[in-house]
Amino acid sequence: MRLHDRWRAGVLSVVILIVFLGLWQIATLPKTTAQVVDDEYAKLVGAAAATGQKSTFPTPLDVGHKLVLAISDPFYDKGANDKGIGIQMAWSMGRVCLGFGLAALVAIPLGFLIGMSRLVFNALDPFIQVLKPISPLAWMPLALFTLKDSSVSAIFVIFICSIWPMLINTAFGVASVRKEWIDVARTLEVSPWRKAIFVVLPAAAPTIMTGMRISIGIAWLVIVAAEMLVGGTGIGYFVWNEWNNLSIANILVAVFLIGLVGMVLDLIFARLQKAVTFRD
Amino acid sequence: MQSFLIVENLRKSYPATAAGHDLVIFDDVNFSIEKGEFVCIIGHSGCGKTTILNVLAGLETPTSGHAFIDGRELHGPSLDRGVVFQSHALMPWMSVRANIAFAVKSKWPEWSRHQVNEHVQQFIDMVHLQGSEDKKPAQLSGGMKQRVGIARAFAIQPKMLLLDEPFGALDALTRGNIQDELVAIVRKTKQTVFMITHDVDEAILLSDKIFLMSNGPQAVLAEIVDNPLSKDRTRSTMHHDQKYYELRNHLIDFLVHRSKTYSKPLN
């Protein structure tokens, strides 16, 4: 029965996709009636646009064609403004991994410290509450000013946006480890280090992993915007560059791939989350 | 000769709330336990039994008073005392073996993996959990979980065992079986035990002495009853002994009537 339901959901998904692509195709069909436009405007925008033979928004087929092109040769490099989408994606991924990794290295130990002590938790809470809602991009000018390097600044922005969910979740997970497990460790005279690694960490791991999953999602959202600002390389810069080239089809290809990579990242962390979750 | 465990003038109170008076949980608790004795403490909820046990475990500090084990004053938790928690308190991410091994490695950090495994297996066998070594607690029944808790406490070979109402959450049949196992183990190992229970028959079966607490707040240790039944009593035969009914009536009378009106022990 469950398998049957899955099949039905799958079929429905395909139907929705076909309807969506069909509507898109109809909406972007070349218009047959010649439009009358101002002569001066025609000179300005070029013949095709002026006569209105074709809508500038690409059809699904155009995008599909570009997608095949982009995927068939993802790693070419023909200078600063013409790199394959694989290379751009790799740049973005590298920045996300570095920023996210550094944030994890800071947030998890710090979160442990905060979670272990009510005093530290209460003392740091106002700072965290103020810093957390700041858009990571608001840090960008400060990062550029102090770090004086656009690439490092992008990594810093990823760092600062992924640190909060991990910090808060680690602190919360550590603070809410069941008292009976701590009592067991106490009666066994377990050293603080051993307690942290064998009792507190596994007990808090599901909560910590949830924080990491939220963080990686935010980091992937923010990297596109950050790279639009700093420029040079990355999928965000690619989107911005294609906008300047007025290549809507390429932008759509990039948008689709950004979504796909984001989904894969989330799936990886969902797996990790499942691996550390224990049944009580 | 000095007793193995001595408790003197134990008192636990919480600071005054808005009303004014300190909230006294129990006061002036004195008792001693000899090596190898099995003691059960009975009393209604709120009389501070668990607090007394936690003080002996070193998990809580009394407001005043002292406890001595083997002539030394008790400070904080120690591997000297094994605790079986009411809620079994097993680590759900560890297997049965790993849960017990965690305790064993805490006691003997210098042991090799082989030594630890051998020791752990011995205690798994003791509580008859062969075949469940690699199961996680979530895969075990309530009785099996509590057996693991007992094996974990015994495995560190403590000088004294503290049991906080270990069978409270179990059904009657399972409880009976584990009680029998516990009797057999304790008689063999001559373990000193301090146990909380609500179950009068459990106390009669297991203990050499029964401590009766009056109702809280301001609970006191009202009576210490020596168990007159023969040492080799069993669950299936002890109710044929006339002394069993006398003892049982005495305990139930206390719990139903006298525990309420009891104020201060007569000196």
Token pair in block for residue A119: 């005093």
Report whether A7 contacts A13 (CB < 8 A): no
Instruction: Give the integer Cα–Cα distance in Å for B2 and B127.
Output: 33
Cα B95 from Cα A136, distance rounded (Å): 43
A-chain residue closest to B88, CA distance: A180
CB contact under 8 A, B81 and A187: yes
Q: Is B81 within 8 Å of A183 when comparing Cβ atoms?
A: no
| Nearest CB to B85 within list A180, A205, A278 | A180
Determine phi and psi for B208, rounding to 5 degrees. Answer: -85, -35
Architecture of domain A85-276: Orthogonal Bundle (1.10)
Please state the domain extents for chain A: 2-57, 85-276
pLDDT at A23: 93
Domain range summary for chain B, segments of one domain joined by +: 1-73+192-267
Q: What is the mean pLDDT of each run of 10 residues along chain A (280 residues)?
A: 84 95 88 61 60 68 88 83 87 95 96 91 92 90 90 93 95 94 94 94 96 96 92 90 89 94 96 92
Q: Which of B59, B92, B94 sits opposite A183 (nearest CB)?
A: B59
- pTM (two decimals): 0.85
Which pLDDT belongs to residue A31?
A: 65
Closest CB from B57, B89, B103 relative to A180: B89
Instruction: Determine the pLDDT at residue B266.
Output: 45
Q: What is the pLDDT of residue A88?
A: 92
Kindly list the residues from chain A whose CB atom is less than 8 angstroms away from the CB atom of residue B154. Answer: none
Select the residue from B79, B83, B91 to test the A interface by mutation, using most A Cβ atoms within 10 A. B91
What is the reported pLDDT for A35? 55
Is the Cβ–Cβ distance between B105 and B97 less than 8 Å?
A: no
DSSP B219: B
Q: Residues of chain B whose pLDDT is less than 50?
A: 265-267
Give the model confidence (pLDDT) of B48-95 as tens digits: 899 999 999 999 999 999 999 988 998 889 999 999 998 889 999 999
Is residue B136 less than 8 Å (CB to CB) from chain A?
Answer: yes
pLDDT of amino acid B267: 41
Task: Report the DSSP beta bridge partners of residue B161.
Answer: B82, B193
Q: Is the peptide bond before A141 cis (omega within 30 degrees of 0)?
A: no
Q: What is the ipTM of this complex?
A: 0.89
Task: Say what the pLDDT of residue A33 is.
Answer: 55
Give the neighbor-by-neighbor strand order of the sheet with B209-213: B81-84, B160-164, B192-196, B38-42, B209-213, B221-226
In sequence order, which ranges of chain A are alpha helices (DSSP H)? 2-27, 39-45, 47-51, 60-72, 85-116, 118-131, 140-147, 150-175, 179-187, 192-195, 201-230, 235-244, 248-276
Q: In the prediction, which pLDDT does B265 show?
A: 47
Q: What is the pLDDT at residue B263?
A: 59
CATH number for the domain formed by residue range(s) B1-73+192-267? 3.40.50.300
Of A23, A34, A89, nearest in space to A57 by CA: A23
Confidence (pLDDT) at A28:
85
Q: How distant is the Cα of B15 from the closest Cα of chain A, in angstroms?
A: 21
Nearest to A279 among B89, B106, B138 (CB): B138
**Among residues 250-279 of chain A, which lie with CB inside 8 Å of chain B?**
278-279
